[in-house]
Amino acid sequence: GEDITSASNGKITYYTDDYSKEQELSYASGAVIIYNGTVAKSYDDRKDFVLKFKKELLSVVSGGLPAKDIVILSKKKLQNSLLSELNSVCNLTITEHENITDFSKSSLNFYTIQSYKGLEANIVFLIDVDGFEDHHNRLLNYVAMSRAKLLLYIFYDQNCQEEYLDTLDKGRDMLADRR
């Protein structure tokens, strides 16, 4: 099978399992698909984030996925997050939970990354990502990204695009060295 292992300069590089074939495809600015089940999108500002978030959420819920299968994770509390000005999106209320035992089947469940550690959801929207390389961000991002069972959306600040792409390249190099 093919897997996407690198993204830079507007191109995604696919490698076959044995690394014998390489193929590049262009991708839209601000959207990078890392591998099956993960989509990463950069944003310029809060307004740009909200537009992109709504578009991706709409694509998920219009496909018939119930709200109970979707979790929004952030390192920030809702009142300090990029979603702070929204009470609802796509006709779904955003509900912040302090306790992991709290859960709503009919709204979008919002948790801090730290409070959701050890749990999983079919679809995770990771928002408010502002870095990939420093130790604290790497740990938080790992915890958040590993919560998704089927699909992960990562929304990160455009100012850390280079850091994001460097991190992808380092991961690809590590995988290539292990083969």
Question: What is the distance between the alpha carbons of residues 123 and 106, in angstroms, rounded to a whole number?
Answer: 15
Above 60 in pLDDT, residue 35?
A: no
Q: What is the pLDDT of residue 2?
A: 38
Q: Say yes or no to pLDDT of 34 above 60.
A: no
pLDDT at residue 127, rounded to an integer: 97
Write out pLDDT tens, residues 64-101: 888 889 999 999 999 999 999 999 998 899 999 887 77
Confirm if 102 and 66 have CB atoms less than 8 A apart.
no
**What 3-state DSSP class applies to 164?**
helix
pTM recorded for the entire structure: 0.77
Radius of gyration of the chain, Cα coordinates, nearest whole angstrom: 16
Torsion angle, alpha carbons of 30, 87, 145, 150, to 10: -90
